Amino acid sequence: MLGGSRLTFVLLSAAVTCAVAQHAPPWTEDCRKSTYPPSGPTYRGPVPWYTINLDLPPYKRWHELMVDKAPALKVIVNSLKNIVNAFVPSGKIVELVDQKLPGLLGNFPGPFEEEMKGIAAVTGIPLGEIISYNIFYEFFTICTSIITEDKGGHLLHGRNMDFGIFLGWNINNNTWVITEQLKPLTVNLDFRRNNRTVFKVASFAGYVGVLTGFKPGLFSLTLNERFSSNGGYVGILEWIWGKKDAKWIGFIIRSVLENSTSYEEAKNILTKTKILAPAYFILGGNMSGEGCVITRDRKQSLDVYELDPKQGRWYVVQTNYDRWKNAFFLDDRRTPAKACLNKTTQENISLATMYDVLSTKPVLNKLTVFTTLIDVTKGQFETYLRDCPDPCIGW
Ligand SMILES: *[C@@H]1O[C@H](CO)[C@@H](O)[C@H](O)[C@H]1NC(C)=O
Ligand SMILES: *[C@@H]1O[C@H](CO)[C@@H](O)[C@H](O)[C@H]1NC(C)=O
Ligand SMILES: *[C@@H]1O[C@H](CO)[C@@H](O)[C@H](O)[C@H]1NC(C)=O
Ligand SMILES: *[C@@H]1O[C@H](CO)[C@@H](O)[C@H](O)[C@H]1NC(C)=O
Ligand SMILES: *[C@@H]1O[C@H](CO)[C@@H](O)[C@H](O)[C@H]1NC(C)=O
Ligand SMILES: *[C@@H]1O[C@H](CO)[C@@H](O)[C@H](O)[C@H]1NC(C)=O
């Protein structure tokens, strides 16, 4: 448990560590080679598969998974409560979340409301806490996503899921509390209808949205957080005040994976729909040239940056900064990722070399929960739990 003073200490020491530049050794390293198939100290282990049956009523879909994962979910929900209580010790905020949040937010569209209610019932965790857990991925997702095209026009999509910054630090083994607690919750999900796969995702049990997924044969899609002054909290306030025309980002991705049937349709929806928080959508298709990063503010698309293999643009890389701006100098994962892709060359890009790039510090860092590799046309979807033992930077 995190006491208030310990938490303050942790935040302070994180701020001090912040002053250490990420681009100097030992925080960075030469591009890794031959890390695939995954093994060794940066590989924590495999990720289990579960089926989510879309033919079941939403309330019942998550039952089987959540029976297995309820204990791990309780651990993380308790950590979040402890963090909140450390800031506002009266316990009033948690009380408010439990009693008032569901009413305050009102109904969520589509299947999401019933799905979250079903998860609350099965785990015995209050609905307000399940909703909070589903909301917080809209805010703290720091990631690297990459789409590449090889010489034969074949696309690959890779991503590191980095999550848990500033939410507490384990001083015994130098890890982020929430990042570590998410590892046992990490699952691959096969969403099926009529006993057939509709889409597959890598996710955290208890979360009904999607941040990483693909539709075999058609397209792949990942979300990276975009920080902006007109950020997601404005969107949430608007939602609470009753202006519910914008979509939650994890939910729009789930809807696109569930119901869109082509790269173009997905791109169109992700470019045009009003969303609650700014975001980067990284979307890949099934043929040459179909890969883009959509930079979004809440109302509109600011930029769609596409593969252009004829002009030599055989990859797109997205972290958490607009591509036309410099990365924050303490957090530049973009330059190392591009440098390693350049070094790999288009001739040699493969799932294995993509994993090498995603295994090179600081693209791999202490926030990295998992790495996912996707080959849309071959129908491959692989997720690996990661560790980043010392020396390794916190983000
Ligand atoms: C670090 O310690 C935490 C808390 O004891 C534990 O959950 C986690 O698995 C450890 N992580 C590593 C990489 O050793
Ligand atoms: C679903 O498909 C699998 C094979 O793909 C088959 O073994 C199983 O019996 C099917 N289940 C139902 C309910 O149709
Ligand atoms: C997908 O479309 C179906 C049919 O319109 C709808 O019932 C379902 O809620 C949609 N799924 C999502 C996640 O929005
Ligand atoms: C690629 O996607 C399109 C839809 O955008 C689909 O019509 C086509 O069949 C797909 N190609 C392959 C090889 O699956
Ligand atoms: C990667 O290669 C491209 C094209 O040659 C070049 O513009 C870019 O500066 C290189 N980036 C890095 C980080 O090496
Ligand atoms: C590409 O891979 C081949 C075979 O593994 C290797 O001989 C060659 O050196 C690699 N090229 C680069 C630029 O790494």
Nearest to 340 by CA among 321, 308, 363: 363
Percent of the chain whose predicted confidence (pLDDT) is above 70: 92
- Is 255 near ligand 3, meaning CB less than 6 Å away? yes
The string of pLDDT tens digits covering residues 76-115 is 999 888 888 887 788 888 888 888 888 888 888 899 999 9
Mean pLDDT score, 367-393 = 96
Q: Output the pLDDT for position 232.
A: 67
Percent of the chain whose predicted confidence (pLDDT) is above 90: 68
Q: Output the pLDDT for position 328.
A: 72
Mean pLDDT score, 56-65 = 98
Mean pLDDT score, 30-41 = 96
The string of pLDDT tens digits covering residues 316-343 is 999 988 988 887 767 788 999 999 999 9
- Give burial (CB, 10 Å; 0-12/13-18/19+) of 23: middle
Residues 199 and 222 sit within 8 Å (Cβ to Cβ) = no
Q: Output the pLDDT for position 214.
A: 98
Tell how far the Cα of 78 is from the centroid of ligand 1, in angstroms. Answer: 16
- Is 348 near ligand 6, meaning CB less than 6 Å away? yes
Tell how far the Cα of 347 is from the centroid of ligand 6, in angstroms. Answer: 8
Q: Mean pLDDT lowest for which of 132-136, 190-194, 305-309?
A: 132-136
Q: Output the pLDDT for position 2.
A: 36
Q: In which band, very low, low, confident or very high, does the pLDDT at 5 lie, cut at 50, 70 and 90?
A: very low
Tell how far the Cα of 62 is from the centroid of ligand 1, in angstroms. Answer: 27
Q: Output the pLDDT for position 313.
A: 98
Q: Which residue has the higher pLDDT, 9 or 169?
A: 169
Residue nearest to atom 5 of ligand 3 (CA): 259
| Alpha-carbon radius of gyration of the chain | 20
The DSSP code for 365 is -
In which residue are the tokens 């005040």 written? 241
φ/ψ (deg, to 5) at 330: -85, -5
Q: Output the pLDDT for position 1.
A: 33
Residue nearest to atom 14 of ligand 1 (CA): 173
Q: Which tokens go with 371?
A: 């790495």
The string of pLDDT tens digits covering residues 125-170 is 999 999 999 987 777 777 899 999 999 999 999 999 998 776 788 8
Q: Which residue has the higher pLDDT, 201 or 244?
A: 201
Q: Output the pLDDT for position 87.
A: 79
Q: Which residues in the chain belong to E strands, given as ranges? A: 43-46, 49-53, 141-149, 155-163, 169-170, 175-176, 186-193, 196-204, 212-215, 219-225, 279-284, 291-296, 301-306, 315-318, 368-375, 380-386
Sort strands 186-193 and 175-176 into parallel, antiparallel or unpaired: unpaired
The string of pLDDT tens digits covering residues 342-357 is 999 999 999 999 999 9
Q: Output the pLDDT for position 230.
A: 67
Residue nearest to atom 14 of ligand 6 (CA): 344
Q: Output the pLDDT for position 81.
A: 87
Q: Which residues are near ligand 4 (CB < 6 Å)?
A: 217-218, 262-263, 286
pTM of the model: 0.92
Rounded mean pLDDT of the chain? Answer: 90
Sort strands 196-204 and 186-193 into parallel, antiparallel or unpaired: antiparallel
Q: Output the pLDDT for position 21.
A: 58
Q: Output the pLDDT for position 227.
A: 80
Q: Output the pLDDT for position 82.
A: 86
Q: Which residue has the higher pLDDT, 360 or 95?
A: 360
Tell me the best of 347, 353, 354 to mutate to test the pocket of ligand 6, counting ligand atoms within 8 Å of each CB and taking the most.
347
Count of residues in the chain: 395
Q: In which band, very low, low, confident or very high, does the pLDDT at 229 lie, cut at 50, 70 and 90?
A: low
Q: In which band, very low, low, confident or very high, does the pLDDT at 18 lie, cut at 50, 70 and 90?
A: very low
Mean pLDDT score, 35-62 = 98
Helical pair 263-272 and 249-259, crossing angle rounded to 10 deg: 160
Residues annotated as catalytic (active site), given as ranges: 143
Tell how far the Cα of 196 is from the centroid of ligand 2, in angstroms. Answer: 9
Q: Which residue has the higher pLDDT, 86 or 292?
A: 292
pLDDT value at 12 more than 80: no
- Is 345 near ligand 6, meaning CB less than 6 Å away? yes
* Max Cα-Cα span within the chain: 61
- Please state whether the peptide bond connecting residue 336 to the residue before it is cis, i.e. omega within 30 degrees of 0: no
Q: Output the pLDDT for position 241.
A: 77
